[in-house]
A and B are shown apart, each in its own frame.
Chain A
């Protein structure tokens, strides 16, 4: 069974440029999560989708970040414009059922460097 797929794995951009990350969850998983992980820290939730509905986006900086999960399968996370402080690893995870008590399966992440 394929795991959570993320692309690109690495991205280097200049500040003020836009950037987008893509995630394909495990087939059949209903819940999808985007996390931000700073160096030496644990992941912090940005947004959680149940099917195509964003059920928790309270930690998403909505002035520059946006996300979508059309058709309730794969998802994109966008930053526009990127700032130096956005340099981090962006992790996508999915779980079979709904709610946070389901085991989450993580992708390898996209490492973003903003210059």
Chain B
């Protein structure tokens, strides 16, 4: 079963704007990861944030984690057409041996 729920399900923005996607989960976690999936392709790992971290940056990506609210957000700044993809959060649940992927946010960046 899937642990995370992404919000919104779909997002359409103009190139240059920022895109924010949210992930909510249900149980305690060791870490949370974000992946990108281009249409017809496999997933690509973007960033991992540990449960004791609150914010992490990687290039144009900024991830926050609020364990009290069981939620995370992924911000992509200055979006580009090439950022068009589906974005998934994946939780490493405490006591489990699987990554649980959310349902994904489909991002469209209009040139």
Q: Which residue of A lies closest to B45 (CB)?
A: A103
| A59 nearest in chain B by CB position | B98
Known: A45-B99, A56-B98. A108 touches B42 (CB 8 A): yes
- Pick from B30, B43, B103: contact of A40, CB under 8 Å: B103
Contact indicator B30/A106 (Cβ below 8 Å): no
| Residue B101, interface by CB 8 Å | yes
A106 and chain B: residue at smallest CB distance? B42
Given contacts A40-B103, A100-B92, contact A93 B42 (CB under 8 A): yes
Does B52 belong to the interface (CB within 8 Å)? no
B42 touches A100 (CB 8 A): no
**B59 within 8 A of partner (CB):** no
CB of B104 within 8 A of CB of A41, answer: yes
Contacts of B102 in A (CB 8 A): 42
Task: A108 to B42: give the CA distance in the assembly, Å.
Answer: 4
Q: Which residues of chain B come closer than 8 Å to A40, judged between CB atoms?
A: 103-104
Partner of B30, one of A43, A101, A103: A101
Shortest CB-to-CB span from B66 to chain A, Å, is 21
B2 contacts A104, C-beta separation under 8 Å: no
Given A44-B2, A44-B101, are A4 and B42 also a contact pair (CB < 8 Å)? yes
Q: Which of B2-31 contact A (CB under 8 A)?
A: 2, 4, 30-31
- The CA-CA distance from A44 to B4 in the complex, in Å, is 12
Check if A42 sits within 8 Å of B42, measured CB to CB: no
Q: Interface code B20-59, partner A: CB below 8 Å = 1, 0 otherwise?
A: 0000000000110000000011111100100000000000
Q: Which of A48, A105, A106, A107 has the most CB of B within 10 A?
A: A106
Q: How far is the CB of A90 from chain B (nearest CB, A)?
A: 11
Known contacts A42-B88, A42-B104, A101-B31; is-contact A106 B99 (Cβ 8 Å): no
B90 and A42 contacting across the interface, CB-CB below 8 Å: yes
Q: Which residues of A come within 8 Å of B, CB atoms?
A: 4, 40-45, 48, 55-56, 59, 91, 93, 99-101, 103-109, 111
